[in-house]
Amino acid sequence: MQTTNQTTNNSLSFLDNVYGFLREADGTYSAKNISETDVLKMANLIAAQKINNRVCIDSPKKATELIQFKMGKPEHEVFACLFLDTKHNVIAYETLFYGTVDGASVYPRQVVKRALANNAAACIIAHNHPSGDPEPSHADKALTERLKEALALIDVRILDHMVVGHTTYSFAENNLL
């Protein structure tokens, strides 16, 4: 039987061969004749591995970097949750809702269901603004309050709401939570 680390290392070894990356003993990578697409696929795999290894979100910077990377730059609005345990280790990152170029419908009931399914103690919610302007709208602020109230009923705290654009706006850093 393989341990999780062996499985992860095997999947990395397999993908190293497929994408042309060579993982060195010190954890660095070298590559020859690879495309930009291969680099992005490998970066996504490494990020997924870090999430599976329960990375601790111990700073706003770490949360911002992870959410920006996982969310990418979609052409339409998406809403995602980073579910955390009691020590703020990542349980899962899930994109829950997809919208249009200027909005997404978010249903608190579904967010609560996913928080329960992940046995989360806390979460960081995030969505993007395809226009690039991360300034939260009145609707963004109202949604945050609705989600805060709904998740409080099951003892799940919202640590932050991030709006990703050309930069990232943090509700927590701007005292809106």
Which domains, and CATH codes, for the chain? 4-52 (no CATH), 60-170 (3.40.140.10)
Q: Which amino acid is at 33?
A: N
What SS3 state is found at 109? helix
Confidence of residue 82 (pLDDT cuts 50, 70, 90): very high
- pLDDT per residue over 89-142, tens digit each? 999 999 999 888 888 889 999 999 999 999 999 999 999 999 889 999 999 999
pLDDT exceeds 80 at position 7: no
Give the separation between CA 129 and CA 160, rounded to whole angstroms.
Answer: 16
Is the pTM higher than 0.75? no
Query: What are the C-alpha distances in Å from 135 to residues 7, 21, 152?
Result: 42, 39, 25
pLDDT at site 141: 95
pLDDT reading at 8 higher than 60? no
